[in-house]
Amino acid sequence: MKIQSSTKKGRVKRVIARTAIMLGICLAAIIVFIYSAMLVICYGPSPRARDLFVNTCMETSFLKYFPPLVLSSSQIEVIQKANSIVDNGEVTVGQQDYTNVENQNTSQPAIEIVDVVGATYKGKMMIVKDPSRVVVGTSSDTFSADKGGKKLDQMIEDEGAIAGVNAGGFVDDGGVGNGGMPIGLVIKNSKLLNGDLNTPVTVVGFDQKNMLHVGTMTGQQALDKGLRDAVSFGPALVVNGKPLEVSGTGGGLNPRTAIGQRADGSVLILVIDGRQPHSLGATHKDLVDVMVDFDAVNACNLDGGSSSMMYYQGELQTVCSSLYGPRRIPTAILVKE
C-alpha cells in the first residue's frame, strides 16, 4: 500500500511538473511573439503603423510600458511630438448669450443621439439643444483618494440627471486607480473644488450665459471668465471656429470622449468606442474632423480610454472598454432633466 501511494504521488508530481513546463514554454512563446511583433511594427516599413502603435500605447495607463521595451525615451518623445495637436495658446473669446435657447428652435428635439462612424471607429454624438442643462457632476464636494470616485450611472442618479459622460482626468496609477482625485481644475456652481489659481492648464467649461470656453488658462482666469462648470483635460480641438493644427496621425487609436458647442448654443457630446472588434478607436485628428462636421465653434477632448462611456435615460449607449466594467471617476458631464 505504501509503495502504491508513493507511486501515485510521484505521478502527480510529474504531471504537475510537466504542466508547469508547458505553461512556461507557452508563456515564453507569447512573450517572444509580442516582443517580435513590436520590433516589426517599430522598425518595419510603415512609419505610420509605428506612430499609431506608440501613441496608442503611450496614451494608456498600462500599455505605456510596452514601447520603452523596444524604443528609447528620446525616440518615443520625438514620435509623440510629431503626431499631436499643436496647441497655439488660443482661448475662446466673445460673450455669446445662450440663456434663452430653450425657447428657440422648438421644432428640434431637446436631446438627439446620432451614430458617428469612421474608418477605425464607431460612436455616439449626443446633441443637447439647451446648454443650460449641461453641467459638471462630481463624486463629492471634497475629493479624496481614500474616498474614491463614483461610477457614471450612480453620479447621474445622485444628481438627478437624464444623461452623462465621463469628464476630466484623474490619478490612475497603473490603470487601477479608484477615481478619487481629479487632475487639474474642477469648477462646479462657480466654486473651485480642485486645482490652484496660478497653474495654467487646458480648461473646458461653461460660463454663466451657457457659452462653452476652451483653452489654456489658470484657475483665476477661469473664475474671472465667470465659468460656472468646468474641468481640465485636452487637447483643445476647435477654438473660435478654427480647428487646431494636427501633425502626423494626431495621436493613437483609443476610446475617446469630447465636448463642443455650435454657434446656436447646442452642445455636442461625443463618445467613441475603442479597443473593440467593432471599433479600434479614434485619434485626436478624428475628433477634430467630427466636431468640424457637426459645426462646432469650440470643442475639447475629455478623458478617454476605459473611462469613456455615455448613458442616456438609464441605458448605456456605448461600449465600455474596461475588462472590469465601468470605472469609478471624480467628474462627469451631466445633462439635467
pLDDT cut 70: percent of the chain above it: 96
Closest CA to 260 of 245, 282, 239, 281: 239
Give the pLDDT score at 295: 97
DSSP state of 185: -
pTM above 0.85, yes or no: yes
d(CA 129, CA 61): 35
Check pLDDT > 60 for residue 2. no
Question: What does the alpha-carbon distance between residue 150 and residue 264 come to, in Å, rounded to a whole number?
Answer: 33
Task: Outline where 90-151 has alpha helix (H).
Answer: none
Q: How far, in Å, CA of 290 to CA of 55, rounded? A: 20
Give the per-residue pLDDT at 93: 92
Report the Cα 127 to chain-centroid distance in Å. 19
What are 19-29's pLDDT values in tens digits?
899 899 998 99
Q: How far is CA 336 from CA 38, 96, 328, in A?
A: 46, 21, 20
Contact indicator for 62, 34 with CB cutoff of 8 Å = no
* Longest CA span, the chain: 92
Would you give the end-to-end CA distance of the chain in angstroms? 77
Read off the pLDDT band of 123 (50, 70, 90).
very high
> Could you report the per-residue pLDDT of 61-118, keeping only the tens digit for each?
888 999 999 999 999 999 999 999 988 889 999 889 999 876 665 667 899 999 999 9
